[in-house]
Structure 1
Amino acid sequence: MSAANGTATKTVETGTLSIGYLEHGAPDGWPVVLSHGFPYDVHAFDEVGRILAQAGARVIVPYTRGFGPTRCLSDETPRSGQQAARGLDIVELIDVLGIKRPILGGFDWGGNASCVAAALWPGQIGGLVSYAGYDIIDVNGQRLPVAPALEKVFWYQHLFQTERGRECLSQHRRDLCRILWSEWSPGWQFDDATFARSANAFENPDFVDVVISCYRHSFGLEAGEMAMQEFEARLAQKPAIAVPAVTIDGTNDPLKPGGTSHHAKMFVGFHEHRVVDAGHNVPQEQPEEFARAVLRVHEQIN
Structure 2
Amino acid sequence: MSELRRLRPIRHIETPHLDIAYFEAGPEGGVPVLLLHGFPYDIHSYADVAPSLADAGFRVIVPYLRGYGETRFIDTATARTGQQAALGQDVIELMDALEIPRAILAGYDWGGRAACVAAAVRPDRVIALVSVNGYLIQDIGASMQPLSPHLEAGFWYFFYFLTERGRLGLTENRRGIADVIWRRNSPDWDFAAAELDRAAPAFENPDFVDVVLHSYRHRLNRVAGAPEYARLEARLAELPAITVPAVTLDGLADGNFPARDATTAGVHFAGPHEHRRVPHAGHNLPREAPLPFVDAIRRAAELAGLTLLRRPLA
Q: What's the TM-score bracket when you normalise by the shorter of the two chains?
A: over 0.9
Answer yes or no: is 1:276 the counterpart of 2:267: no
1:6 Cα offset (Å): 4.9
Match of 1:267 in 2: 269
Q: What CA distance in whole angstroms lies between the structure 1 residues aligned with 2:234 and 2:47?
A: 35
What's the secondary structure of 2:266's corresponding residue?
helix
Cα distance change, pair 3–228 in 1 and its aligned pair in 2 (3 A):
farther
Q: Is the counterpart of residue 289 in structure 1 residue 296 in structure 2?
A: no
Matches within 5 A, 1:1-302: 5-7=5-7, 8-259=9-260, 261=262, 262-277=264-279, 278-301=281-304, 302=306
Take 2:88 and 2:12, find their aligned partners in 1: how far apart are those partners? Answer: 18
Separation in 1, partners of 2:226, 2:246: 29
Distance 2:229 2:3 in 1: 32
Any idea what the Cα deviations from partners look like across 1:97-150, whole Å, max 9, x if unmatched? Answer: 011210000000000010000001111111100011111111011122111111
- Answer yes or no: is the 8 Å Cα contact 1:31–1:57 preserved in 2: yes
Deviation at 1:153, TM superposition (A): 0.9
Tell me which moved more, 201-210 or 150-159. 150-159
Point out where structure 1 has 5 or more consecutive residues left out of the alignment: none
Q: Secondary structure at the match of 1:222?
A: coil
Q: Counterpart of 1:126 in 2: which secondary structure?
A: strand
Using structure 2 for the length normalisation, give the TM-score: 0.93
Aligned residues: 301
**Post-superposition offset of 1:300:** 2.1
**Partner Cα distance (1:177, 1:151) in 2:** 18
Contact 2:4–2:47 (CA under 8 A) maintained in structure 1: no
Q: Is the 8 A contact 2:184 2:256 kept in 1?
A: no
Q: Distance in 1 between matches of 2:62 and 2:204?
A: 19
TM-score, normalised on structure 1? Answer: 0.97
Q: Secondary structure of the residue that 1:240 maps to in structure 2?
A: coil
- Paired residues of 2:3 and 2:47 also in contact (CA < 8 A): no
Q: In 2, Cα distance between the equivalents of 1:158 and 1:51?
A: 38
**Relative to 1, partners in 2 of residues 1:64 and 1:260: Cα closer, same or farther, differing over 3 Å?**
farther
Structure 1 stretches (4+) deviating beyond 4 angstroms? none
The 1:258/1:299 distance shift into structure 2, 3 A limit, reads closer
Q: Displacement, 1:265?
A: 2.9
One-letter amino acid of the counterpart of residue 236, structure 1: A
Change beyond 3 A, Cα 1:288–1:114: same
Could you report, residue by residue, the CA deviation over 1:210-248 in whole angstroms, capped at 9, with x for unpaired residues? Answer: 000000000000111111111111111010000000000
Tell me: CA distance 1:237–1:260, structure 2 relative to 1, closer, same or farther (3 Å).
Answer: farther
Q: Is the 8 A contact 1:25 1:56 kept in 2?
A: yes
RMSD: 1.3
- TM-superposed CA distance for 1:182, in Å, is 1.1
Unaligned runs of 5+ in 2: 307-314
Query: CA offsets, 1:144-175, max 9 Å, x none?
Result: 21111111111111100101001000001111
Contact 1:66–1:206 (CA<8 Å) still a contact in 2?
Answer: yes
Distance 1:45 1:243 in 2: 23
